[in-house]
Chain A
Amino acid sequence: MYRRIARVVFVLIGSAGSVLQAQEFQIFDRTVQVHGFVSQGFVYTGGNNWLTMNTRSGSGAMTDMGLNVSSQVTDSLRLGAQVYDRNLGKLGQYHPSLDWASVDYTFKPWLGVRGGKVKTTLGLYNDTQDLDFLRTFALLPQSVYPMDLRDTAIAHLGGDLYGAVPLKRQLGAVSYTAYAGRRSDSIYSGFAYLLTQYQIYLRSLSGLQYGCDLRWETPLKGLLVGASRMNQGITGKGSFVNALKPSAGLLPYRISTTTDWTNQFYSQFSAGKLRLDAEYRRYVSDESYLPTVDVADDVRGWYVAGVYRVARRLQVGSYYSRYTATSILTGPGAALIGSQPDTSLPQNHIYDKAVAARLNLDRYWNVKLEGHFMDGVGVGVYPDGFYPQVNPGGFKPNTNALIVRTGFAF
């Protein structure tokens, strides 16, 4: 498999020159653009295996790629689609998916509509979290943008209303997005993988997703503040083995959320070579987790990050990220797993200090080096990077990680 991956990567890079030349062509007198990206990471950890990879031995199972085609058909109408594929340890497993495909029509600067499969606007970076080449860090703060749970918020099949309104008296401008649609997770996502430890095997996880985002470009130059809200009603279907009665074999399984919302608040300040980000996300859900267990999750994460452009091609950055998760279980089967109310315990938090450097080798290719120093593993009922399946000997309280990641985008 790795030889196949290497071949794909090298063919892409090797043909980059000709691909770059062929990025744009005409169909029926309309310009069509083609763009793509690929990234490859290597992760080594001390402590625990991370993100479903065997990182304690060093792992290169961190690859993703995308390809899109789009056209500005008229000044108001835009069409496009992107395919995305990834492998992250036990997740993804190279099952390509339609990342987005939309028709976008702008009536006025303050009113536009897009429909199809659309990236979800949530906080600063939800809709661009896969696009490694856009940022300094190899990994976004996992407290707010968990890579293993990408599918929970990345996109919806539905529609958006959006627009931007300049404010009077030089008070800046406000942008809004309101959306509704259907979320559909890959069965190769983190949550589905987590459930396999309980012998639960999902074949679908989807449901209604709707919300809004409001952001304000303030009169203070470079300062942006905003808030997002997302509501969901998610149902998972599959099979499970009843641990209390394994002889019954595979039984039908269903999980649904009754309460499921996310609030996110954020700000960004840019001045010269410096950019500062801060975000807070809270996710609350009530769900029937097993036939005899109900789970109330309260997941909170926040981070502060700074990035500085040292030279034209070199950026450095650092962030501090805190993640806590409490899970309160009720029902006859609750004792099998146990509630997790105490966030001071390593299994209920992850405090992460990260430092990173990014070097742009040229306009298209970058290399990143990043270190993480993590306290805690956050392995309650809700996952965030650490999984028992790849840590069969149990968890150590701390994990340090070194990431080298390279990416190419055209």
Chain B
Amino acid sequence: MNKLRLPLIATGVVLALGLGAWAQSVKMIANPNLKLDSISASELRSVFLKERKSLGGSHVEPVLARSGPAHDAFLRLYLGRTDDDLQTYYRSLVFTGRGSMPKVLESDTEIIAYVAKTRGAIGYVSPEAGSDGVRTLAVVSDNSSERTLISRVEPDYPEVLRSHSIGGTVRLRLTVAPAGIVESVEVLGGDAALGEAAAAAAVQWRYSPKSSQSLIEVLITFDPSR
């Protein structure tokens, strides 16, 4: 089977267990100059709380949405604050001379365009939003025993489905062996045919080694427009 690189497929890597529906409601994106495939939850939090301005020696700049489901999911999932609480926090920095207001934009389109052109920018959009010119980031647990995705194979988009504009998001549960090999894939949700294609790719992924087996949930989105 050809391992063609598909025109967008948004892949979100979800922390095992517990993040569920909220994590499916937001996708992290970054400027391509940031050589990152993933970011830890604590690093993400510190960037958006203005506690750090660089990652791995590269400048980072948080970009927020003004409102919307992705915004709400991001705040709840990664910052544990309401929008008002976050605004209060930023203003406490601004008006005591200890920080500046981050960039706030109105829509996924604006955020993607800004992140694509701005060195070090990290933002969040809806999972179904495009990824033109930006890098998608996986958010991984701070628990050092959690797995890091080392290599990823993009799934083949079944041509018959794409030609009929059939797309969607597939949710998978991967059983990862201690050595990092994906032992089995269970399709938890989404179109059956797309799930089969996603599973065929995911079984070829490789994770970092760990002392024990892991269960990891991931999302793979098939977008027929790309």
A residues near B (Cβ < 8 Å) are 23, 31, 33, 35, 37, 66, 68, 70-72, 75-76, 78, 80-82, 100-102, 104, 106, 109, 114, 118-119, 127-128, 131, 133-135, 164, 221, 309, 312-313, 360, 363, 409
Which residues of B have CB within 8 Å of A118? Answer: 97
Which residues of A have CB within 8 Å of B52? Answer: 109
Once bound together, how far apart are the Cα atoms of A173 and B91, in whole Å?
22
Are B94 and A33 neighbours in the complex by a CB distance under 8 Å? Answer: yes
The 9 closest A-B pairs by CB, nearest first: A75-B53, A80-B97, A119-B96, A100-B97, A75-B54, A102-B97, A131-B95, A127-B96, A35-B94
Which residues of B have CB within 8 Å of A82? Answer: 95, 97
Q: Which residue of A lies closest to B52 (CB)?
A: A109
Q: Which residue of B lies closest to A162 (CB)?
A: B98
Which residues of B have CB within 8 Å of A104? Answer: 97-98
Which residues of A have CB within 8 Å of B87? Answer: 363
Chain B min CB distance to A219 (Å) = 13
Known: A75-B59, A109-B51, A109-B52. A134 touches B97 (CB 8 A): no
Once bound together, how far apart are the Cα atoms of A134 and B52, in whole Å?
23
User: Chain B 50-84 against A: per-residue CB contact (8 Å), 1 yes, 0 no?
Assistant: 01111000010000000000000000000010101
Which residues of A have CB within 8 Å of B92? Answer: 128, 131, 134
Q: Does B109 contact A (CB under 8 A)?
A: no
Q: Does B100 contact A (CB under 8 A)?
A: yes
Which residues of A have CB within 8 Å of B97? Answer: 68, 70, 78, 80-82, 100-102, 104, 114, 118-119
B residues near A (Cβ < 8 Å) are 51-54, 59, 80, 82, 84, 87-88, 91-92, 94-101
Q: Which residue of A lies closest to B89 (CB)?
A: A134
Are A70 and B88 neighbours in the complex by a CB distance under 8 Å? Answer: no
Are A128 and B96 neighbours in the complex by a CB distance under 8 Å? Answer: yes
Chain A min CB distance to B46 (Å) = 8
Once bound together, how far apart are the Cα atoms of A68 and B91, in whole Å?
12
Which residues of B have CB within 8 Å of A102? Answer: 97
Can you give 9 contacting A-B residue pairs, CB < 8 Å?
A: A70-B100, A75-B53, A78-B98, A82-B97, A128-B92, A128-B96, A131-B96, A134-B95, A409-B91
Are A66 and B51 neighbours in the complex by a CB distance under 8 Å? Answer: no
Chain B min CB distance to A255 (Å) = 30
Which residues of B have CB within 8 Å of A133? Answer: 91
Once bound together, how far apart are the Cα atoms of A131 and B82, in whole Å?
20
Are B91 and A131 neighbours in the complex by a CB distance under 8 Å? Answer: yes
Q: Which residue of A lies closest to B59 (CB)?
A: A75
Once bound together, how far apart are the Cα atoms of A68 and B52, in whole Å?
22
Q: Which residue of B lies closest to A109 (CB)?
A: B52
Say which residue of A35, A80, A100, A106 sits within 8 Å of B101 (CB atoms): A35
Are A164 and B94 neighbours in the complex by a CB distance under 8 Å? Answer: no
Once bound together, how far apart are the Cα atoms of A37 and B92, in whole Å?
12
Once bound together, how far apart are the Cα atoms of A78 and B101, in whole Å?
13
Say which residue of B82, B84, B88, B100 sits within 8 Å of A33 (CB atoms): B100
